[in-house]
Amino acid sequence: MNAANDTHSKTIGYILWIFGFTGSHRFYYGRPVTGTIWFFTLGLLGIGWLIDLFLIPGMDREADLRYRAGRVNYTVAWVLLTFLGLLGVHRFYLGKWITGLIYLLTAGLLGIGYLYDFWTLNDQITVVNASE
């Protein structure tokens, strides 16, 4: 895999894995269904969390093949969503100024839009990167 196709970072994946019982690394790698399951079951009671320690390289490779690199950096967008998502900062970064302002004024549509973006951010970034 060349650097031009490297959309996700293994380092970030392992950092998120530390909090893996919340499913954060699974959301990052584009696995929102299992991310949600991990969130509600504390990483399958810790068992799935431990197994994921060995699965991260494969999840990273699959994400690099599935998503499109471009102007928008996946890691930056995910950090912005995670820490400033209720303010819509990640949407401004994606160039979605109107929804960014709506999130800013409504706390991420009262949190519902924020949760929606955890499910769809990788696809949103791929669409923006494909339109270049």
Long-range contacts of 129-132 (CB under 8 A, 24+ apart): 129/68, 129/69, 129/70, 129/71, 129/72, 130/68, 130/70, 132/70, 132/71
Q: Are residues 78 and 62 in the same domain?
A: no
Last residue of a domain, one of 66, 93, 110: 66
pLDDT at 55: 97
Q: pLDDT tens-digit profile of 9-42? A: 999 999 999 987 789 999 999 999 999 999 999 9
- Phi and psi angles of residue 101, each rounded to the nearest 5 degrees, phi first: -65, -40
Q: Are residues 112 and 83 in the same domain?
A: yes
Tokens standing for residue 44: 């399958």
Are residues 66 and 127 in contact, defined by beta-carbon separation less than 8 angstroms? Answer: no
**30: helix, strand or coil:** coil
Q: Are residues 30 and 78 in the same domain?
A: no
Q: Are residues 55 and 85 in the same domain?
A: no
Q: pLDDT tens-digit profile of 91-121? A: 999 999 999 999 999 999 999 999 999 999 9
Are residues 29 and 59 in contact, defined by beta-carbon separation less than 8 angstroms? Answer: yes
pLDDT at 2: 52
Look over the chain and give the mean of its residue pLDDT values, rounded to a whole number: 93
Q: Are residues 27 and 59 in the same domain?
A: yes
* Overall domain count for the chain: 2
Q: Are residues 18 and 47 in the same domain?
A: yes
Using the predicted structure, report yes or no on whether residue 129 has a pLDDT greater than 90. Answer: yes
Q: Are residues 88 and 37 in the same domain?
A: no
Q: Are residues 47 and 83 in the same domain?
A: no
Last residue of a domain, one of 15, 43, 66: 66
Q: Are residues 81 and 48 in the same domain?
A: no
Q: Name the residue range of residue 84's domain.
A: 74-130
pTM of the model: 0.87
Nearest Cα to Cα of residue 42 among 23, 56, 15:
23
| C-alpha gyration radius of the chain | 15
**Which residue is it, tokens 């197994």?**
51
Q: What percent of the chain has pLDDT over 70?
A: 97
Q: Are residues 7 and 59 in the same domain?
A: yes
